[in-house]
């Protein structure tokens, strides 16, 4: 039987009077809470079949909705209660794609801790099933691709460009991609760290280690951020690497 956590019910379907007296008996409080029923016409049962047929989605039908997975999930408990593994499995099995789409912004938040899988009494490989749901939806164009993939692409391009991880460019280039204004030097047009808009969380995150850094290490890092040293003969190697990655389908 499905469990309907209160947080999953749309607020407009919950009726509750401030004060309710019936036959002289005050039934105010939880006793007067009514959840209006809803009618669902739009579902796709073939969606669950696709999940079951995918290598990591095979255990989806073993779920009996006990909610142990959700009760153990740190993302649900400490970040956002809309992230609810049990509920995602429930929606996928009923083929309620539009309901899954409404939660697309939180569905990628799994931190792969596998607590859910360890605690599932029915042997559902919960994390794998969730990934299968997401992959199937992304493949059908129903949700955006995995957000970290965008960073992966950006990271790969940066390494291909310099032959090394260029911390400053990587970090501030990515911040620029997120819509922040980043100041660039007028000649090479490379981002100059901490000039322009820097998100508050990043300032705090970087200031702590910087304060305890050895001064010569700090100067070396600042120099590398500004002058971007390159790996020797990287250009030739880059061309070969790019070609191989394209042939292997690892680069588009
Ligand atoms: S713990 Fe397992 S059986 Fe229980 S709701 Fe989660 S996936 Fe389903
Ligand atoms: S693996 Fe993902 S879904 Fe499972 S408990 Fe951890 S964060 Fe939650």
Give the per-residue pLDDT at 32: 80
CB within 6 Å of ligand 1 — which residues? 63-69, 86, 89, 120, 122, 124, 126
Ligand nearest to the CA of 130: 2
Q: Whose CA is nearest to atom 2 of ligand 2?
A: 110
Mean pLDDT of 204-231: 78
85 pocket-lining for ligand 2 (C-beta < 6 Å)? yes
Ligand having the closest approach to the CA of 72? 2
The Cα–Cα gap between 169 and 175 comes to 10
- Which residue did the predictor score with more confidence, 41 or 252? 41
The pLDDT confidence band at residue 1, using thresholds 50, 70 and 90, is very low
- Tens digit of each residue's pLDDT (9 = 90 or more) over 174-200: 888 888 888 887 877 777 777 778 788
Section 149-168 average pLDDT: 83
Closest residue by Cα to residue 62 from 47, 76, 45, 48: 48
Buried b (16+ CB within 10 A) or exposed e, 116-130: bbeebeeebbbbbbb
Q: What is the pTM of this model?
A: 0.68
**Looking at ligand 1, which residue's alpha carbon is closest to its atom 1?**
120
Helix axes 167-177, 215-227, angle to 10 degrees: 60
Regarding predicted confidence, which is higher, 43 or 1? 43
CA dihedral 78, 81, 84, 87 (to 10 degrees): 160
Q: Quick check: 205 pLDDT over 90?
A: no
- In this predicted model, what pLDDT tens digit does every residue of 32-55 receive, in sequence order? 888 898 888 889 999 999 999 998
CA atoms within 13 A on the CB side of 121: 6
């Amino acid at each position: 039987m499905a469990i309907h956590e209160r947080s999953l019910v749309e607020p407009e379907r919950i009726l509750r009077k401030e004060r309710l007296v019936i036959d002289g008996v005050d039934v105010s409080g939880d006793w007067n809470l009514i959840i209006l029923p809803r009618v669902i016409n739009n579902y796709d049962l073939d969606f669950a079949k696709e999940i079951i047929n995918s290598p990591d989605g095979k255990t989806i039908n073993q779920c009996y909705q006990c909610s142990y997975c959700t009760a153990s999930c740190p993302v649900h408990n400490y970040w956002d209660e809309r992230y609810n593994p049990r509920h995602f499995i429930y929606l996928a099995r009923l083929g309620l794609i539009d309901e899954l789409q409404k939660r697309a912004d939180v569905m990628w938040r799994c931190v792969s801790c596998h607590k859910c899988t360890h605690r599932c009494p029915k042997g559902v490989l919960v994390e794998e099933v969730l990934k299968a749901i997401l992959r199937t939806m992304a493949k059908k164009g129903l949700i955006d691709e995995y957000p970290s993939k965008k960073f992966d692409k950006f990271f790969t391009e940066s390494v291909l460009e310099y032959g090394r991880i260029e911390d400053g460019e990587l970090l501030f280039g990515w911040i620029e991609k997120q819509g922040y204004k980043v100041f660039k030097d007028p000649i090479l047009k490379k981002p100059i760290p901490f000039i322009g808009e820097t998100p508050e969380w990043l300032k705090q995150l970087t200031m702590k280690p910087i304060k305890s850094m050895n001064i010569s290490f700090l100067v070396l890092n600042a120099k590398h951020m500004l002058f971007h040293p390159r790996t020797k003969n990287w250009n030739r190697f880059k061309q070969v690497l790019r070609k191989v990655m394209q042939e292997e389908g690892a680069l588009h």
